[in-house]
Structure 1
Amino acid sequence: MGDSLVNTTSWEKNLNLTNFNYNDASNSFYEKNKVYFQILFWGNLITLCVGLPLTLVAMFAVLSKVKKDQGAPLYIFNLLISDLIQHCSRITMIEHFPTFLSWFAFQVGITASIGFMMCISLERYLIIAKPLWYRFRRNIKTPVLVCVAVWIFSLLNNLSMYLLLKFHIVKIIQAAGLLLVLFLLIFCLVGTIKALTKARSVSADEKRRIVSILVLVLLTYVLLFIPYMIHFLLEKPFQNFAKFTSVTIGIFLSPLADSAMCVFLRKSAVDRLLTSLCCCVTSKNQEISSTDNDNVSSQRTTAV
């Protein structure tokens, strides 16, 4: 994973801004990148104010769906916990550069998010492509053990990256992990679509909902996570502060995508949304049709 490539030593050596304040106008580094600091500040503040309440609401909604025979809601709930960790660690970043602890927690949250995104995609794929195998093997112990494993891996992965950052082999391993996750998400999406084309027992609305979840997971990873991780893999994280700002804003938006995923998981919410859209379109068409009929009637009256 290319999401934990900053350690305390490089942070202080390259920037020496551990206690830096965004409002410290006398700092030369701040003056040089003042615009990007403001973008980072407002991006963090806005996404935090919007994303934190949405994450809490989504956690409450998903928690009500967790049952003994359901794994996907449990993965979603842990994904939202990782988002909550990211939100809490970002609170200290509103006015100051993050401390080592807050930055480490932020990176652990990102790594865990990627892990649970993989679990969600694989879960959806197994439900559709291997229904019998999944039905006989699913139980509450399996998803719980998987969630524990993801959290342990996230902690150990980031800790090892902080300690072994100077070794180039670490970056090679992270790049391989980056591609592995991408291939797995693509495989789950393609495999699920192929299985859905042969599944006659699944309704068309359910098929669209399942595909929408997997597409959203893949797009979130490709558009938000990959640029962030590639930036840390290919160059010094804060040497180009403009790039750092853009990829970091993308990471700030990732919890919002997770909240959107929860909407797709709730069938009733999606159905109400689609029904509302259909009603709006139907009502608009009826108004247009009624207007056209009135115009035709008036033209006929005039002609008579």
Structure 2
Amino acid sequence: MDLLLSHNLTNGSGSGSCTKEDFVDVRMYPTFYSICFIIGFPANCLSFYVALALARKGNNLAVYLVNLSVSDLLYTITLPVWIQLALRYPVGDTLCSLIAVVMNNSFYVGTSFLCCICVDRYLAVVSPLYYPWAHTVRTANGVSALVWCAELALHAVLLHHTGALRSFSEFRLCEEKMPMRPAVSRVALVRVALGFLVPLLLMTFCFLRIFLALQRSTFTQESERRKVQSLLFLLLLTYVTAFAPFQTIMLLRGLWEPNVCGFALRVRDAYMVSVATTTINSVVDPILYCLLSEAAKAEMNLILQGCR
């Protein structure tokens, strides 16, 4: 698996040992994950509520935001268990594997919905008179269902490839065996390609085309144009900051780590830090996508007025 803690690094083949005293997770994870949970959980709950209200009013983009919020919420609620693992408290075998799968699946599902949002905005800004069917709630619901099914099926196939699906609890997926076994390294490379490089290229293409379309537009006010362009830049910057370090290290590990203990030990600390940085995206997502949009602000004002 990818986003995993490991306290005792054992040879993936079961022979010999590959051990390193872990300090990064003990010193960094409890504080960092606690902050991310305290901020991310209420922020994602609020963004889910606001996006759901907008979706019920016929906003197709809000449908993707609802699913993105669900994905980020699933990611966020695993953090207390990772804190417990970092503090060396015991965690049951089944729960250990379950939170690892939930965290991994949420990570890639969230990326898929980011791509859906980018493509939707690309079609709305660059080709506003074409593909009207793409901007309906029905289409958004269908695409969302397809994303969830495809991601779950892909993860099941990858788990089966590594053998973890057959002995789910015994594998203790929250404790990664190091160095990587060849089967795990192949899964890592597939995830880097399909779960990061392809989405990054797609989002970059969409953002650049939207940026250029806004530059050429004579109907968009300068202040509005700058606001949208700044938001696009922040979205891409957040995604790269959160995921590029982790995916880069996973690429290097997939290429050079299989059955090589020395390499596993050299990249261990950097890998542990990069795992933590991926959490940034689940905290920033609701702020950038929901809390900064005009429609979301208007919906929150209605909520506040209702509370008063």
Aligned to 1:265: 293
The reply on whether 1:77 has 2:66 as its aligned counterpart is: yes
RCO higher in structure (CA 8 A, sep ≥6) = 2
2:201 to 176, 179, 183: 183
Q: 1:213 to 1:77 in 2, by over 3 A?
A: farther
Aligned to 1:90: 79
The reply on whether 1:105 has 2:132 as its aligned counterpart is: no
Provide the rounded CA distance (Å) in 1 between the counterparts of 2:4 and 2:247.
Answer: 15
The code of the aligned residue for 2:52 comes to L
Q: 1:111 to 1:215 in 2, by over 3 A?
A: same
Aligned to 1:52: 41
**What is the CA distance between 1:259 and its match in structure 2?**
1.9
Task: Report sequence identity in percent.
Answer: 21
**What is the CA distance between 1:206 and its match in structure 2?**
3.2
Decide whether the 8 Å contact of 2:120 with 2:134 is kept in 1.
no
Compute the TM-score of the two structures, normalised by the length of structure 2.
0.72
**What is the CA distance between 1:60 and its match in structure 2?**
1.6
Q: Secondary structure at the match of 2:48?
A: helix
The reply on whether 1:174 has 2:201 as its aligned counterpart is: no
The code of the aligned residue for 2:287 comes to A
2:217 to 172, 176, 199: 199
Decide whether the 8 Å contact of 1:89 with 1:105 is kept in 2.
yes
Q: 1:78 to 1:213 in 2, by over 3 A?
A: farther
Aligned to 2:281: 254
Provide the rounded CA distance (Å) in 1 between the counterparts of 2:199 and 2:110.
Answer: 12
1:161 to 158, 161, 164: 158
Moved more, 78-87 or 167-176: 167-176
Q: 1:171 to 1:55 in 2, by over 3 A?
A: closer
Provide the rounded CA distance (Å) in 1 between the counterparts of 2:296 and 2:73.
Answer: 25
Moved more, 246-255 or 208-217: 208-217
The code of the aligned residue for 2:146 comes to A
**What is the CA distance between 1:100 and its match in structure 2?**
0.6
**What is the CA distance between 1:7 and its match in structure 2?**
8.9
Residues 82-109 of structure 1, C-alpha deviation per residue, up to 9 Å, x if partnerless?
0100011222112126701100000010
Unaligned runs of 5+ in 2: 12-18, 163-181, 258-262, 299-308
Decide whether the 8 Å contact of 1:39 with 1:245 is kept in 2.
no
Decide whether the 8 Å contact of 2:40 with 2:282 is kept in 1.
yes
Decide whether the 8 Å contact of 1:121 with 1:214 is kept in 2.
no
Provide the rounded CA distance (Å) in 2 between the counterparts of 1:13 and 1:35.
Answer: 13
**What is the CA distance between 1:269 and its match in structure 2?**
4.6
Decide whether the 8 Å contact of 1:5 with 1:162 is kept in 2.
no
Decide whether the 8 Å contact of 2:67 with 2:144 is kept in 1.
yes
**What is the CA distance between 1:52 and its match in structure 2?**
0.7
Residues 121-158 of structure 1, C-alpha deviation per residue, up to 9 Å, x if partnerless?
11111110010114354322111111111111221222
Aligned to 1:229: 247
Q: 1:116 to 1:223 in 2, by over 3 A?
A: same
2:272 to 242, 245, 251: 245
Q: 1:46 to 1:136 in 2, by over 3 A?
A: closer
The code of the aligned residue for 2:125 comes to I
Q: How many corresponding residue pairs?
A: 253
Q: 1:204 to 1:251 in 2, by over 3 A?
A: same
Provide the rounded CA distance (Å) in 2 between the counterparts of 1:172 and 1:96.
Answer: 26
Decide whether the 8 Å contact of 2:243 with 2:278 is kept in 1.
yes
Provide the rounded CA distance (Å) in 1 between the counterparts of 2:226 and 2:98.
Answer: 41
**What is the CA distance between 1:36 and its match in structure 2?**
4.0
Provide the rounded CA distance (Å) in 1 between the counterparts of 2:220 and 2:226.
Answer: 10
Decide whether the 8 Å contact of 1:82 with 1:109 is kept in 2.
yes
Q: Which has the larger radius of gyration?
A: 1
